[in-house]
């Protein structure tokens, strides 16, 4: 696994063979992060990686300037791997929560500016994830939310849908939370 760009760009880490996650391909990850960088400045933002797997998304957010990144992963092997990479980088701004994403979403402990969700495509509750994220209260005003999925899913009818991107067989639905009413009023009065 490699970190594509940013302060840790080009760093590579050997993923243990017993990891069962399906990592986002380098090609798809590089392209979706290029799109995301055009929509949000990562510098100083709070990132959240749901179903973190190998942590490639978490590490990419951290490398590109997020002030903190929380990775939520239920599998011990994957969570331990993400912790080991953070330790090798010596970066204290990556927090790994070993736990169930659905439980995490049902009792949020704050809000995030950039949220990425990549549940296993065959997860029995896959279809629920985008709506749960959008309704959970974890998205800060103006937050960007990216849901990775296969081409058989279409989330364009959900609130705050912004656009769909596809890179090979990997698809992404991008959502943008509105800014709060006060921000909108200030912007229109100037």
Q: Which domains does the chain have, with CATH numbers?
A: 26-189 (3.40.50.150)
| pTM for this entry | 0.91
As a whole number of angstroms, the distance between CA 84 and CA 106 comes to 28
According to the model, what pLDDT value does residue 183 have? Answer: 42
For residue range 52-61, what is the model confidence (pLDDT) as tens digits? 999 999 999 9
**Lowest pLDDT segment from 21-25, 51-55, 145-149:** 21-25
For residue range 87-146, what is the model confidence (pLDDT) as tens digits? 999 999 999 999 999 999 998 789 999 999 999 988 999 999 999 999 999 999 999 999
pLDDT over 80 at 187, yes or no: no
According to the model, what pLDDT value does residue 108 have? Answer: 79
Helix axes 56-63, 76-89, angle to 10 degrees: 20
According to the model, what pLDDT value does residue 172 have? Answer: 98
As a whole number of angstroms, the distance between CA 165 and CA 131 comes to 19
Contact criterion met (CB below 8 Å) for 127 and 155: no
């Amino acid at each position: 696994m490699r970190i594509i760009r940013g302060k840790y760009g080009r760093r590579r880490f050997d993923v243990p063979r017993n990891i069962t996650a399906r990592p986002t391909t380098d090609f798809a990850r590089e392209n979706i992060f290029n799109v995301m960088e055009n929509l949000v400045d990562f510098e100083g933002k709070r990132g959240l990686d749901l179903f973190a797997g190998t942590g490639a998304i978490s590490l990419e957010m951290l490398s590109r300037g997020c002030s903190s990144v929380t990775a939520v992963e239920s599998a011990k092997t994957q969570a331990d791997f993400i912790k080991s990479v953070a330790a090798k980088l010596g970066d204290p701004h990556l927090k790994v929560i070993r736990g169930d994403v659905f439980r995490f979403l049902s009792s949020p402990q704050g809000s995030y500016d950039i949220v990425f969700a990549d549940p296993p495509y065959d997860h029995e509750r896959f279809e629920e994830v985008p709506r749960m994220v959008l309704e959970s209260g974890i998205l800060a005003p103006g937050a960007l939310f990216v849901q990775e999925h296969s081409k058989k899913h279409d989330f364009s009818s959900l609130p705050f849908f912004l656009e769909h991107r596809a890179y090979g067989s990997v698809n992404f639905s991008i959502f943008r939370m509105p800014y709060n009413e006060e921000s909108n009023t200030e912007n229109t009065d100037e």
